[in-house]
Amino acid sequence: MDRAGRITHQLLGVVRKTDLVPSELNLNALIDDTVQLVSREASNKDIEIVMEMDSAVASVWVDAYQLRQVLINLLTNAIHATPKQGNIAVILEDMGNQFALKIKDNGEGIPKENMEKIFEPFFSTKSPGEGTGLGLFVTRGIVEKLGGKIEMESRLGHGTVFSVILPKYHEVKRDLEEGNHLGLFQKIKKSLQGH
């Protein structure tokens, strides 16, 4: 019953929050806060989380709630896959109009036969009752909703890297393309009135 409840909760999360609420945010602060959220679980296994931040990516325009959820899912998976006293790197890279967020662990890696299935709903390598098999399925759905893509590289015995590539200003650009100028004009008018 508990597993059914968790599955329902995760699926509702995917379908419920269809409207993105983008805002300008400090990406370094969001990553730092999210790492703090999982730090206890990591320290229980003596896992060190190292952050490598590119200072060129200061602020982006994205839905903070959704991006935090992606990070939590990927970091939690990395902690589960990483052995005691292992390490996880959170890497932020500037890519011009996009940025890449990479979660790199030195865990056991993913067998070749599982690589194709990893983003499928209900696929899990965890023991029965430990996971819903929806984490990466939900994560990919959120990333695509944010206008990005998620990639994965893994080598058995060497670990796994998940890369989330997102546009820096996707929502503003999309609003302009769709002709939703009103909100933008109101912001410009407000800022002009302040001068």
For residue 184, tell me if it sits in a domain. no
Q: Report the distance separating Cα 123 and Cα 28, nearest Å.
A: 32
Report percent pLDDT > 70 for the chain. 71
**Mean pLDDT on 10-30:** 71
Residues sharing a CB contact under 8 Å with residue 178, sequence separation 6 or more, in sequence order: none
**Mean pLDDT on 64-71:** 94
Q: Which two tokens stand for residue 27?
A: 């990406």
For residue 182, tell me if it sits in a domain. no
Mean residue pLDDT across the chain: 80
Reported confidence tier of residue 56, pLDDT bands at 50, 70, 90:
confident
Q: Report the distance separating Cα 93 and Cα 102, nearest Å.
A: 8
Q: Which two tokens stand for residue 125?
A: 């390598």
For residue 185, tell me if it sits in a domain. no
Least confident interval from 96-100, 130-134, 136-140: 130-134
Q: Is the pLDDT of residue 180 over 70?
A: no
If one counts the domains in the chain, the total is: 1
For residue 187, tell me if it sits in a domain. no
For residue 107, tell me if it sits in a domain. yes
